Amino acid sequence: MMRSFRKAIFLRLARLLPATRCYRQRSWLIRKAGFDVDPTARLCGSAQILGTFRLKVGANTFIGHETLITGGDCEILIGASCDISTRVLIIAGTHELTPQNEKVAGPGRSENIVIGDGCWIGANSTILAGVTIGPRSFVAAGATVTRSIPARSMVGGVPARLIRSFSDHADAEAELPLQKE
């Protein structure tokens, strides 16, 4: 009881800080709430963390406005140097399907979610329970990720489908940002 009260207080205090400032202080408050957030991670003030899951956020990761991270008894791991855009839903909760019963949504459960290092998750995307997104992958805006994604991939759509793989040398060069000369 005391632990959940402490978590609620520290998370509420973190949301009172200016939305796009005081990142270090917000990370500190979220760590005090019991989550493993690197001090260099930047979470916007309107991002919400709800549930009893274990959260780990890596170094230099950005989590945008109105992003919701929620789940039960599971782990949500977000790697280092990730960019998670605005209004992304990371939902580790799901239900057993019971079509033979009166209610199709059967008993609830939570499954781990892993977002690898260097990923970019576009605005309004949804990452569902049990998904692993491989390192350096890109999820297009509005996509719903229902299955795991290999490393160095671009996916989009509902449900998300592979658009491109950055696995060979030519594609690896194409993914580099344009440099002003």
DSSP 149: B
Give the pair of three-digit tokens for residue 150: 């290999």
Tell me the per-residue pLDDT of 104-114, one tens digit each, with 9 for 90 and over.
888 889 999 99
High-pLDDT (> 90) share of the chain, %: 60
Q: Which CATH superfamily is domain 40-174 in?
A: Hexapeptide repeat proteins (2.160.10.10)
Give the pair of three-digit tokens for residue 126: 């949804």
Could you tell me if 88 and 125 are in contact, meaning their C-beta atoms sit under 8 angstroms apart?
Answer: yes
5 Cβ contact list (under 8 Å, min separation 6): none
Could you tell me if 55 and 76 are in contact, meaning their C-beta atoms sit under 8 angstroms apart?
Answer: yes
Q: Is the overall model pTM greater than 0.75, yes or no?
A: yes
Tell me the per-residue pLDDT of 88-136, one tens digit each, with 9 for 90 and over.
999 999 988 888 888 888 888 999 999 999 999 999 999 999 999 999 9
Return the pLDDT at 102. 84
Tell me the per-residue pLDDT of 18-56, one tens digit each, with 9 for 90 and over.
667 777 888 888 888 888 999 999 998 889 999 889 999
Catalytic positions? 95
Return the pLDDT at 179. 43
- Residue 176 pLDDT > 50: no
Write down the domain spans for the chain. 40-174
